[in-house]
Amino acid sequence: MFTGISIHNVYVLDQDEALDFYVGKLGFEVVEDADLGFMRWLTVSLPGQPDRRILLEVPGPPSHDEATAAQIRDLVTKGAMGVAAILTTDDCRATYEELRSRGVEFTEEPTEQPYGIDCALRDPFGNHIRIGQVDKPA
């Protein structure tokens, strides 16, 4: 049946600002950036993983009317959309320090968890992102 998930969306309020953050600060790469006329199709991925993309989507047509888009923008800004992504790393503390040096603001410092170490941040729009270093099973 299914063989994988290729695209997941994250609502953003400004795609150029999203590029600055996801590419410029977090280190993602642009996979697709196309003007479809009715919307801009903008996807990013981790380097070397173009088959696992995030669509940086602005709420609005063709998926939403203006009233619905306004509600989504409000929810995004409040951080009420849940976790946008959980990223993994081999060294959470080093990743945290590297991203802080690039100007990323964190909502939670690296913390020991039963499964490893993780930390949390929000993108410029309010989306929650977690970064985890998962312990390998013994």
Can you give the pLDDT at residue 114?
A: 93
Tens of pLDDT, residues 43-100 = 999 999 999 999 999 999 999 999 999 999 999 999 999 999 999 999 999 999 999 9
Burial-class residue 6 by CB neighbours within 10 Å (0-12, 13-18, 19+): exposed
Determine how many CB atoms are found less than 10 A away from the CB of residue 70. 13
25, 103 Cβ separation under 8 angstroms:
yes
Look at residue 16 and give its three-state secondary structure: helix
Can you give the pLDDT at residue 136?
A: 76
**Separation of alpha carbons 117 and 119, rounded Å:** 7
To the question of pTM greater than 0.85 for the whole model, the response is yes
Band (138; pLDDT cuts 50, 70, 90): low
Which are the contacts of 103, defined by CB distance < 8 A and separation ≥ 6? 25
Domains and CATH numbers, the chain: 7-134 (3.10.180.10)
What is the mean predicted confidence (pLDDT) over 7-18?
97
Q: Where are the alpha helices (DSSP H) in 1-138?
A: 15-19, 66-78, 92-101
Counting residues of the chain whose pLDDT is more than 70, the rounded percentage is 99
What is the mean predicted confidence (pLDDT) over 11-28?
98
